[in-house]
Amino acid sequence: MKYRKIGNTPLELSVITFGAWAAGGWMWGSTDRNEAVRAIQAGFEHGVTSIDTAPIYGQGTSEEIVGQAIKAMPRDQVQVVTKYGMRWDLNKGQFGFKSQDNSGKEIDIYKYAGKESIIYECEQSLKRLGTDYIDLYQIHWPDETTPIHETMEAVSSLIQAGKVRYAGVCNYSAAQVKEADEILHIASNQIPFSMVKRDAELETIPYCIKHGKSVLAYSPLERGLLTGKITENYRFAEGDHRATHRFFSPEWVRRTNTFLNRIKPLANDKNVTLSQLVLGWTIQHPGITIALAGARNADQSVSNALSASVFLTDEEVQLINSELEVLHGAR
């Protein structure tokens, strides 16, 4: 496993960080707590010391699972990364969308990052995680109803209180990162980035490179699309958000699988899976500090961890990038 510093802080995260969204079950159909715990612990045994979660993932379920998993780990060897700013239990702030919790109950999701809400959320996260501090605390989505300075001042108070070590953001534009950074040092920006979703290369990633901000890439396997295991007639479990996601339309699946079949010989030559090749490409991509990879079980988690050792030459990267140009130009 490789480890990289986050921004100009002393905090180091494993280049493959365990993404615990699916572990919470919400929007993924279901979850098996025991399998999820074993997945996190198996990753740790292979060097995945960093775990990214959020209160909204299963409305506390994911954080509880992470908390259960890290009980068996030395706390000073684990980096807990979580978020704030998405409320399902408070109708305040910017309305996000309607959803259902894991029991099927209708819930409204709000983006809210007011000071009192952040303080409350932090306390709840600490309880669920079973720890007294969070290594990297990130706003989950921008909240248009709360001034950025109020949000960052709240996080600053949590840092001063010793409950948070460092501050990050998620899904922020370059302008929003700049504004937040004027109040509180921002170490990182967690953004969606994958072989099929690369719009962040236009502005956000260049800004982060220029200003020393780490980029935490989420959904680098594009929710499983880039594993090669999704077919045009794939049937998703009830409640799985991918069923209506544009990247899982028959056309996109077909196009993506054509691309994956063209780079599979490279994966075979290196004796790695397509997923490992994709994750290896991601963590070698300019400006990408770490890749968040989810896993439903221990085998998937170990496979993700091993992708940190995949090395691509400049020629191999160019080969993949050339095939990606064909994919994005296809109709």
- Percent of the chain whose predicted confidence (pLDDT) is above 70: 93
Specify the higher pLDDT residue, 121 or 33: 121
The residue from 3, 57, 166, 207 that is catalytic is 57
- Percent of the chain whose predicted confidence (pLDDT) is above 90: 79
pLDDT score for 41: 97
pLDDT score for 173: 97
Question: Could you give the CA distance from residue 55 to residue 53 in angstroms, rounded to a whole number?
Answer: 7
Question: Could you give the CA distance from residue 60 to residue 129 in angstroms, rounded to a whole number?
Answer: 9
Domain 3-229+274-310 in CATH 3.20.20.100: yes
Q: What is the pTM of this model?
A: 0.93
pLDDT in tens, 136-152: 999 999 999 999 999 99
Residue 282's H or E segment, with its range, is: helix 274-284
Angle between helices 298-306 and 33-45 (to 10 degrees): 30
pLDDT score for 203: 96
pLDDT score for 327: 83
pLDDT score for 328: 81
Instruction: Report, as an integer, the average pLDDT of 74-83.
Output: 98
pLDDT score for 28: 57
User: What is the DSSP secondary-structure string of 146-190?
Assistant: S-HHHHHHHHHHHHHTTSEEEEEEES--HHHHHHHHTTS-EEEEE
pLDDT score for 330: 54
pLDDT in tens, 242-293: 766 667 777 888 888 899 999 999 999 999 999 999 999 999 999 999 999 9
**8 Å CB contact between 68 and 33:** yes
Instruction: Report, as an integer, the average pLDDT of 94-101.
Output: 92
Question: Could you give the CA distance from residue 331 to residue 327 in angstroms, rounded to a whole number?
Answer: 9
pLDDT score for 244: 67
Q: Identify the band that residue 296 occupies on the pLDDT scale cut at 50, 70 and 90.
A: confident
> What are the two backbone dihedrals, phi and then psi, of residue 78, each rounded to the nearest 5 degrees?
-120, 140
Does the active-site annotation cover 218? no
Q: Residue 217 burial (CB < 10 Å; 0-12/13-18/19+)?
A: buried
Closest to 7 (Cα-Cα) out of 179, 189, 193 = 189
pLDDT in tens, 215-253: 999 999 988 889 888 766 667 666 666 766 667 777 888
Angle between helices 314-329 and 250-269 (to 10 degrees): 160
pLDDT in tens, 40-55: 999 999 999 999 999 9
Q: Identify the band that residue 35 occupies on the pLDDT scale cut at 50, 70 and 90.
A: very high
pLDDT score for 234: 66
pLDDT in tens, 162-178: 999 999 999 999 999 99
Averaged pLDDT of the chain? 92
**8 Å CB contact between 102 and 48:** no
Sequence ranges of the domains in the chain? 3-229+274-310
pLDDT score for 331: 41
